Amino acid sequence: MFKQLSTTDPVDRVNVILNGRLVEVPGGCSVAAAVLSQNPGYTRTTPVSGSKRAPFCMMGVCYECLMVINGQANQRACCVMVQNAMHIETQQGVGKPLEGRENG
C-alpha cells in the first residue's frame, strides 16, 4: 500500500523488531512511516470497541498511531524517529502490546 518514492540518494536501512519479528525498514523517518512500509494493516486498537486504527495525520494531532515503542505504551509513532534495534509493538486498547507479546 505504501512505498517510498524513488530517489537517487541511497536510503539508510535499519533493523527493528516489529511485533516480535526482525524487519528491515527505511531509516531517517518516523516509526509510523517505517511501520507503514511493512503494511501491518493497523497500529493500534481502540479501548472501547477494539476497532483497528492506523496513522492518519502523520503530524502528532490525531493519536491514531499510538504504539508500544521500546516498552513504552501510548507513543505517537509519527513523532518518534525510527532507530536501529527498536522494539515496536501494535498497541491494544489502553496500552498493551499485541496479544501474546511482552513489553520490551
CA 61 to CA 59: how far, in whole Å?
6
Among 57, 81, 85, 94, the residue binding ligand FES under the rule CB under 6 A is 57
Distance in Å, CB of 66 to ligand FES, minimum: 8
Question: CB-wise, 17 or 58, nearer to ligand FES?
Answer: 58
Q: In Å, what is the CA distance from 28 to each residue of 10, 92, 93?
A: 11, 27, 28
Among 58, 93, 96, 101, binds ligand FES (CB under 6 A): 58
Q: How many CB atoms lie within 10 A of CB 6?
A: 6
Which residues in the 8-37 window bind ligand FES by CB under 6 A? 32
